[in-house]
Structures are given as structure tokens and as C-alpha cells.
Amino acid sequence: MTQWRKKGKDETYTEDAIEARLKETLPNWYYEGGWIRRKYKTSGWKATLMVVNTVGHLAESAWHHPDLAVSYAFVIVKLMNHAAKGITDKDFELALKIEEVVQWQPGLNEDSALDGTPDDARFKYIKHD
């Protein structure tokens, strides 16, 4: 059951509504310190850069820019609408797109000609949830 309602373009959500929407639509994201956040674990530096570049492309395309914390084997994405001074639909929509692209696994649970990354540690780059 939905515990939140869609807001206007720059209308911010309450903390309770943020928590409810994350639970329903982005269960691997969390709310902390005024930001919605997600930590992506990677297999190492090259994979981390791939995630950063993916997030960068999506954010630039959306013209909504996250803060990133980047380390050897993880990337933390933090979203908050600076102009609105809170969490808006822009944050949730960009988070959903980032989640969709970074967590995409071709060939897994879909009818696709794409096989996806081999199940071999030499080729895995993201640690899927």
C-alpha cells in the first residue's frame, strides 16, 4: 500500500514519505542527513570508474547532479534537490534510472540475445544485490 503521493516538480517530501517511497520503490536506498543514498559495491577500481561514469552520464542527461563518494571498491551516490532544499521527484526518478542501469543484468530473468557478464570472478565488475 502506497504511503506517499506524487508531488509537484520541486515540492519536497516529508521524512516519513521519503522512507515509505524508498521502501516501496528503491529498497536498497536509504535516507540519511537530508539525502537519499545508495552504496554500490564493485570488484575494484576499473569497475568503480564504470559506475561513476554511468551515474555521471545519467545525471548529466537528467540535469540533476548527485554527490558521489568514490573509493577503490565502492561508490556512494547521494541525491538531494539543492534548489528545493530537500528530496523531490527529481531525486527519486534519477535514483530509479541509476538503479535500473547499474543493476541491469542482461540474460538474467529476461528473454535477450545479450548474455550478460560471465559468472566468473575474472569478469564480474559489480556486486549485484
Please return the burial class of 114, using the count of CB atoms within 10 Å of its CB with bins 0-12, 13-18 and 19+: exposed
**What is the structure's pLDDT at 105?**
86
In order along its 129 residues, the chain shows pLDDT tens digits of 566 566 666 799 999 999 999 999 999 999 999 999 999 999 999 999 999 999 999 999 999 999 999 999 999 999 999 999 999 999 999 999 999 999 998 877 678 888 888 878 888 788 888
**What is the structure's pLDDT at 1?**
53
**What is the structure's pLDDT at 7?**
63
Q: Among candidates 67, 126, 57, which has minimal Cα distance to 91?
A: 67
**Distance (Å) of CA 100 to CA 7, 25, 97, 127:** 22, 11, 5, 14
What is the residue extent of each domain of the chain?
15-102
**What is the structure's pLDDT at 5?**
63
**What is the structure's pLDDT at 2?**
64
**What is the structure's pLDDT at 39?**
98
- Separation of alpha carbons 119 and 127, rounded Å: 12
Kindly report the CATH number that applies to the domain delimited by 15-102: 3.30.1360.20
